[in-house]
A = this chain, B = another copy of it.
Amino acid sequence: MAVRTVPFQVSMRGGTQIENVTKPVQDALSGAGLTGGIVTVFVKHTTASMMIIEDEPGIRADTKTFWDRTVPADPAWEHNRRNAGEDNGHSHLRGQLQGPSVTIPFAQGALVLGIWQQIVLVDFDTRPRTRELIIQIMGE
Cβ of A16 to closest chain B Cβ, rounded Å: 12
Chosen A-B contacts, 23 in total, with CB atoms closer than 8 Å, are A1-B2, A1-B3, A3-B35, A3-B140, A5-B105, A5-B112, A44-B114, A44-B117, A46-B117, A52-B96, A53-B96, A56-B82, A58-B80, A58-B83, A58-B89, A62-B77, A62-B78, A62-B79, A66-B93, A70-B70, A99-B99, A100-B102, A100-B117
Determine if A53 and B92 form an interchain contact, defined as CB atoms under 8 angstroms apart: yes
* Contact for A71 among B58, B66, B113, CB less than 8 A: B66
Shortest A25–chain B CB gap in Å is 13
Kindly report which residue of chain B lies nearest to residue A113, judged by CB atoms: B44
| Chain A 56-81 interface mask (CB, 8 Å, partner B; 1/0) | 11110111011000110000011111
Alpha-carbon separation in the docked complex, A138 to B65 (Å)? 38
Q: List residues of chain A with CB under 8 Å of any chain B CB.
A: 1-3, 5, 35-38, 40, 42-46, 51-54, 56-59, 61-63, 65-66, 70-71, 77-83, 86, 89, 92-93, 96-105, 107, 112-114, 116-117, 132, 134, 136, 138-140
Q: Does the CB pair A103–B40 fall under 8 Å?
A: yes
Which residues of the other chain, B, contact A3 by a CB distance below 8 angstroms? 1, 35-37, 139-140
Instruction: Decide: B58 and A116 in contact? CB cutoff 8 A.
Output: no
